[in-house]
Amino acid sequence: MRTELSIEFFPPQSAEGADKLRATRDQLAVLEPGFFSVTYGAGGSTRERTFATVKEIAAAGYEAAPHLSCVGASRDSIRGILQEYVDAGIRRIVALRGDLPSGAGAAGEFRYASELVEFIRAETGDRFHIEVAAYPEWHPQAKSPKDDLAAFKRKVEAGANSAITQYFYNLDAYLHFVDEVRKLGLDTPIVPGIMPIGSFSKLARFSDACGAEIPRWMRKTFESYGDDSDAIRAFGLDVVTRLCEQLLAAGAPGLHFYSMNQAAPTLEICRRLGLKA
């Protein structure tokens, strides 16, 4: 049975970045991913760049899935974006609460991702396959694991089809989260998000900000390599490949790669997994 893959990009900020992303996309297309997703900046700050990237991916013959966040947005603005995606032939959306840009005031007309999912369904029916976020190590702003599970359940009941997780390196966190979701009576596919590791210092900063744990044994091993970037990359590839092997053996429905607009790490992990087309 073929493993379903998906790959995430962020919208480029320059013509040079756009050229690089096209090359990256074409390199990763050999993996035959189910879709390429494109992130959406805080408060819609990358709206036009996200839309342009999504349209270009779709025009090249690949399935594109734009991220859409609702905090700071009005219903009219979201309605307009949805119509743009309908007109462009887009069939999949990653629906998120998102963050307000720094210094922004009001949260807009949506408070939670579940409200966005409900709105998309009310406006467009079954037009879109809706992905939502899941947090195996719990959302950093959740009051408790129970509250976070309740929030996930509301997103599913509002009409989400499947979920993509925040990245993690603790296999048990994912398995426990899936088990807790199943206890709620939900059979929603929960695809693990995979973050390849190129730079430990960048990973540590990013993980501290988003609440993803780097296990102590990993952190200490990375720190022992100092500035040896080749050793860090090699160890990172071993760790992430092993995690993917364990996830697939445990029945994960696919893998979603946070590519950071780089092709090589994802390609190498998939080669090691025997997933290259």
Per the DSSP assignment, residues forming a β-bridge with 37 are: 8, 65
SS3 state at 191: strand
SS3 state at 137: coil
Strands (E), the chain: 4-9, 35-38, 64-69, 92-96, 129-134, 162-167, 190-194, 254-258
Catalytic residue among 8, 115, 131, 137: 8
Position of tokens 């899936």? 178
Measured CA distances, 144 to 56, 140, 148, 149, 150 (Å) = 41, 10, 6, 9, 10
In the residue annotation, 123 being an active-site residue is answered as no
Measured CA distances, 237 to 4, 197, 230 (Å) = 20, 7, 11
State the Cα torsion 129-135-140-143 to the nearest 10°. 100
Torsion-angle region of 135 (φ positive above 0: left; ψ -120 to 50: alpha; else: beta): beta
What residues are annotated to the active site?
Answer: 8
